[in-house]
Amino acid sequence: MSYSRVPEWPCDARIYRLFWDEFPEDTGYVGHTRHLLLSRRMTGHRNKAREGQKALLFQKIRERGKFQYELLETIFCQNLDEARTHEKRWYRSLKSNLNMISPFRTEDELKKYSQIRSQSSERKAQKKAYYTSPEGKAWWKAYNARPEVIAKKKAYYAQPEVQTKMKAYAARPEVIVRRKAYEATPEVIARKKAYEATPDVKAKKKAYAEKLSATPEGRAKQNAYAAKHRAKPESKVKHKAYLAKPEVKAKLKARYAKRYATPEFKAKREAYLAKPEVKAKREAKRKAYLATPEIKAKLKARNATRGTRVECECGSEVRRDSLSRHRKSKKHLKLIQNLEKINLAV
């Protein structure tokens, strides 16, 4: 029989306890081995302690030196899990305080341990330090780019209960404040602009917009989103500032002139304006506009000077309220031409 050979499962498992008589406050360490001789297992513990491993048992061995051990039970086991189950029984019975973790844990116990460990401040600090390092960022990027991970994420986030949970989380006031503060940072704004300026992202956005506008539901969704966005005070200010730019004005003027000049648009516009509901809507809008205090004041001031006659640059005397109409008349244009000829002759 070779005492150095470790038998395969199923075989006898030896449950042992490692302890120090001079330190009775420690209830010791409980373990199991398939070695025929316990001394071989103890040699393994000493070697790991010399290597500087950080487990509590190895720290105590380095601090205290020589230890005692005893065989608690020899029992035939079919596999490793069965051996660990018996080890756990002794671990609980003796309340050994040098075992850092339970010898055998069920799935529920593993989940509970994982949650407790992930919530510890030390573990959080370790994870943060790793994932903010270049190595951690590179690993996380490569991991998220795996096809199986992408497919798994899509399947997870497509679940109705997950979407409901995400919407509820995103609607929290503190989350909204935190997100707005994050999105307002210069580096995030610059990164977003750079991302949206890439050709593939532009093509994706264009394709998505075309896909939406192809169906009535999609157009309704687009209109609802646009209306919601335009209703925001900051959007109104931003849009007004954008439209006030000279280059934007010129661009829009050229675009609308080209659009309005087409016969199909003219026909479409006439058909739209001829609808009774559109007429009623425009009339109501006109009345509301005329009822505003500033427009009322403007009209009152204009009516007060309506009868006043002024001299036009062509030499004619006309009413002030008809001046703009007079300047478009044939009489005005002819007089201006005569004045220009006289000026040239002089």
The structure tokens listed for 187 are 């580096």
Q: Which amino acid is at 69?
A: Y
Low-confidence ranges of the chain (pLDDT < 70): 1-4, 305-307, 346
Q: What is the pLDDT of residue 2?
A: 55
Element (H, E) at 263: helix 263-273
167 shares a domain with 131? yes
29 shares a domain with 86? yes
Query: Is there a domain that residue 45 lies in?
Result: yes
Give the domain-ending residue among 78, 104, 130: 104
CATH of the domain at 55: 3.40.1440.10
Task: Please state, rounded to an integer, the average pLDDT across all residues of the chain.
Answer: 88
Q: Which of 60, 101, 67, 69 is nearest to 84 (CA)?
A: 101
The structure tokens listed for 34 are 């398939």
Residue with tokens 């532009």: 202
Give the domain-ending residue among 104, 139, 163: 104
Q: What is the pLDDT of residue 57?
A: 92
Cα–Cα distance between 94 and 103 in angstroms, integer? 13
Determine the structural domain holding residue 35 and report its residue range.
11-104
96 shares a domain with 137? no
First to last CA, the chain: 135
Q: What is the pLDDT of residue 346?
A: 60
pLDDT digits (tens, 9 = 90+) for 52-84: 998 899 999 999 999 999 999 999 999 999 999
| β partners of residue 76 | 12
Q: What is the pLDDT of residue 269?
A: 87
Helices 147-157, 160-170: inter-axial angle, 10-degree rounding: 80
The structure tokens listed for 251 are 């661009």
Query: Is there a domain that residue 335 lies in?
Result: yes
* Cα torsion through 296, 302, 307, 308, rounded to 10: 150
> Please, what sign has the CA dihedral across residues 200, 204, 209, 211?
positive
Q: Which of 87, 84, 85 is nearest to 71 (CA)?
A: 87
197 shares a domain with 164? yes
Long-range CB pairs of 110-118 (<8 Å, 24+ gap) are: none
pLDDT digits (tens, 9 = 90+) for 183-218: 999 999 999 999 999 999 999 998 998 888 888 888
SS3 of 275-294: the string is CHHHHHHHHHHHHHHHCCHH
